Amino acid sequence: MIKITNLTKAFAGRQALKEVSFTLQEGEKVALLGPNGAGKSTLMSLLSGFRRPTLGDINILDLPVGHPQLKSQVGFCLQENDFPSHSRVAEIMGWVSSHYSQPLALGFLAQSFDLTHLMSRQTGGLSGGEKRRLGLALAFIGRPKVVLLDEPTTAVDLENRHRFYDFVSDYVAREKITLLFSTHQMDEAERLGDRLIILHKGQVLRESTPQGLKALLQSRQVRLRSQVDLRSLDARWALEGNHFYICCDSQPEERLKALFEQKVEFSHLEVSSPSIEEAFIHLTNEVQSEPPP
């Protein structure tokens, strides 16, 4: 559905993207991750046709970006939502809807993105989160086969963020829409993404599933409370608030066995696997610490 081959984009001699290649299949939901400046928004603007690549190819539904047939097949919501300030929400949705032969019902979209009570409001009076929800609704209004979303839940409150997650889990999955979205929210990437693509300094650093990324850290964390200063027994223990914690390999039992043998009393024991956020930070830090070639 989406095929990117050796994509490069340069601005005034600086390469924002360098030989990026990956593929998305029909119905696949892929999260695009990376620190600020990694090239995520540049990639989204190229896929949406707002910028042209310096080198490389982009094909969506076996057609090159910019092909007229893609206008009705691809929906997108980039970071900036700029609407005519005096136009009402219902007017904008109705105008965009009129460009498609079989658009989604406005009532369904208004309910899905919590816009029902805003339909008569002028967009100039909307908050950032409300504008964002309108932009997301417009991305799906034409029943696209492919949707591109650049940080979709930026400025969106928690309740409506979860409303969007439910929409993706229900409608997007049911209609087998191919979804590529960038995000800084690791829980969002894990919840919605079938696969993760991590960009770093304009290049693909790694492709993985959420579980595969977490598996990079072969460690688990043990947290507990104790009246004994565990740091005096093992310098690897650290104190956070009223909990001691230690990161260990895949055998945390050895750390607990040592406490039992020393007859250390403890409570509130927690043993957890690394989060996707911890794995992401570990991976990007590891690359940044490598010496330049």
- pLDDT tens digits for range 199-216: 999 999 999 998 888 777
Say what the pTM is: 0.82
Cα angle: 148, vertex 190, 241; to 5 degrees = 130
Confidence at 273, pLDDT banded by 50, 70, 90: confident
Read off the pLDDT band of 270 (50, 70, 90): confident
Find tokens 């690897």 and name the residue: 236
Write out the H or E segment, with its range, that includes residue 203.
Answer: strand 203-208
Q: Summarize pLDDT for 188-197 with one digit per residue, the tens.
A: 999 999 999 9
pLDDT band at residue 248 using 50, 70 and 90 as cut-offs: low
Is 177 within 8 Å of 145 (Cβ atoms)?
Answer: yes
Q: Residues 99, 143: contact at Cβ < 8 Å?
A: no
Say what the pLDDT of residue 249 is. Answer: 60
Q: How far apart are the first and last CA of the chain?
A: 35
**pLDDT tens figures, 171-185:** 999 999 999 999 999
For 157, residues 6+ apart whose C-beta sits below 8 A from its C-beta are 129
What's the pLDDT band for 290 if we cut at 50, 70, 90?
Answer: low
The kind and range of the H/E element at 273 are: none
Q: Taking all residues of the chain, what is their mean pLDDT, rounded to a whole number? A: 91
- Going by C-alpha positions, the residue among 23, 52, 251 that lies closest to residue 146 is 23
